[in-house]
Amino acid sequence: MKAKKYTKETILQIGMQDRNFDKFNIGDAIKVAQRIKEGDKERIQIFEGDVIAKHEKGIASTFTIRKIGANSVAVERIFPFYSPIIESISFVRRGKVRRAKLYYMRDRIGKAARVQEKVLTKEQKEQREQQKKNQANV
């Protein structure tokens, strides 16, 4: 009897389930609610910031969030997308960016360290609604 051989692609797909999180892209501001265990107690902590990178590699997919904390100290966290400690991801606002990785934000200080919000006109919003309806019908 031959042993079953897995390809790289199938190994990366093992254990993947649809998480039903809000869709987000690079530059978007999101809130990540994660479970924190302290002793025998468990609580949910929210980490809100801008997505500066996404690494999509099947079950090993991750995303990096950067926020400006107290005393203007920047905090970055890398979250595994399919981790069971992530309770939910909620979308806050869309960012106006032109790159896939925003590592240059690490060198910025003050207001320049923020991602601008992408503002849509009424026509653009209506077009997006139409596209969503068309995709739902297909």
Domain range for 131 is 8-137
Q: Is residue 2 part of a domain?
A: no
Express each pLDDT in 54-111 by its tens digit: 999 888 899 999 999 888 889 999 999 998 899 999 999 999 999 999 999 999 888 8
Instruction: Give me the residues paired with residue 74 across strands.
Output: 68
Express each pLDDT in 29-59 by its tens digit: 999 999 999 999 999 999 999 999 999 988 8
- The Cβ-side half-sphere exposure at 133, using a 13 Å CA radius, reads 6
* pTM (two decimals): 0.80
Residue type, 135: Q
**How many domains are contained in the chain?**
1
Q: Is residue 3 part of a domain?
A: no
CATH of the domain at 40: 2.30.30
Instruction: Give me the residues paired with residue 48 across strands.
Output: 31
